[in-house]
Amino acid sequence: MFKHMNNNYVIGADIGGSHITAALINLSNGEVAADCKFKEPVDAGAGAEDILARWTACIARTLAAAGKEVAAIGIAMPGPFDYPGGISLIKGVAKYESLYGMNIRETLAASLGFRSGIYFENDASCFALGEAWAGEGKGCSRMVAVTLGTGLGGTFLQDNVILHEGKGIPPEGYIYHLPYKGGIAEDYISSRWLLNGYHQRRGQRLAEVKDLADLAEQQDATALALFAELGNSLGEVLAPWLGDFAAERLVIGGNIRKAHPFFLAPLEAYLRDNGIATTVHISGRGENSALSGAAWICSTHLNNNNAR
């Protein structure tokens, strides 16, 4: 197996609701080393020992494939989480609750025997950083990235730096909790809303958004209407912020992005009709952007350490 030079590479990992993916990332360009990328299924409702054993196994496999010691490990982690401290605060969301209060950094370092840095950042933020570095946001100064899936993630970036406050930045830099239609944005822009909407209108409960997209492909009127409404809602929620932030690009990721033929036109029409010049881009990198973004976090810490 090809052996990678350790001074140019770190490990990036992405923690999902049902799996972990880990890969070796090239720090010169954010690219994922295809021969050093592995995925492990994880039961998010399992006990802490089982979850951590699977995370450890996947990262250890990647480290072994790299062939050399790497400088750091970056992990894209869903919240709530104490990212600087490495402590899980996940509770009340039906996933990874057995890890609540645990120091994940110390636990992984011990189980991996890894003596270099392990760094964490929000998974949606890692996606945004990866897109800005090596994806649809490359070369863009002011970018907003949105992940559409079981929840609604949003990140505002300026020159590859995550912003949590300032002109055009919503509270804490997030969009899921923005007030919308008597609730919050995530209530109306998520896989949950799409699937519940189809059930309410047609009396049929679908298993996943792909099923709804298949129906839309077959010109099912209800499926088409739901995706159009989602695109319009996303435009309504984002337009004021995109305008105030003067965003050059909006990059969309998450599993729902695969259904973009059915919601992209309504989204773009809403933005255009409201004088928003931001261009909309659909991510083609998938989880590779979260992996690259996790590596970007490593490079930031490594550069800061070297500057001291």
Q: Model's pTM, two decimal places?
A: 0.89
Inter-residue long-range contacts of 133-136, CB under 8 Å, 24+ positions, other chains counted: 133/30, 133/160, 133/292, 133/293, 133/296, 134/29, 134/30, 134/31, 134/285, 134/289, 134/292, 135/251, 135/283, 135/284, 135/285, 135/289, 135/292, 136/249, 136/251, 136/281, 136/282, 136/283, 136/284
One-letter identity of residue 247: A
Question: Mean pLDDT throughout 117-141?
Answer: 94
Which is nearest to 14 in space by CA: 307, 288, 301?
A: 288
| Choice between 78 and 23, residue whose per-residue pLDDT is larger | 23
pLDDT number for residue 3: 46
What are the pLDDT digits (tens) for 100-117? 999 999 999 999 999 999
Q: What is the mean pLDDT of the chain?
A: 93
Q: Residue 306: what pLDDT?
A: 66
Higher pLDDT, 94 or 85: 85
Q: What angle do CA 287, 291, 297 make, to 5 degrees?
A: 140
Phi, psi of 114, deg, nearest 5: -100, 120
Cα separation, 250 vs 123, whole angstroms: 17
**Average pLDDT estimate for 254-281:** 97
The answer, yes or no, to whether residue 37 has pLDDT greater than 50, is: yes
Query: Taking 80 as the threshold, does the pLDDT of residue 227 lie above it?
Result: yes
CA separation for the pair 48, 36 (Å, rounded) = 26
CB-based contact 117:72 (threshold 8 Å) = yes
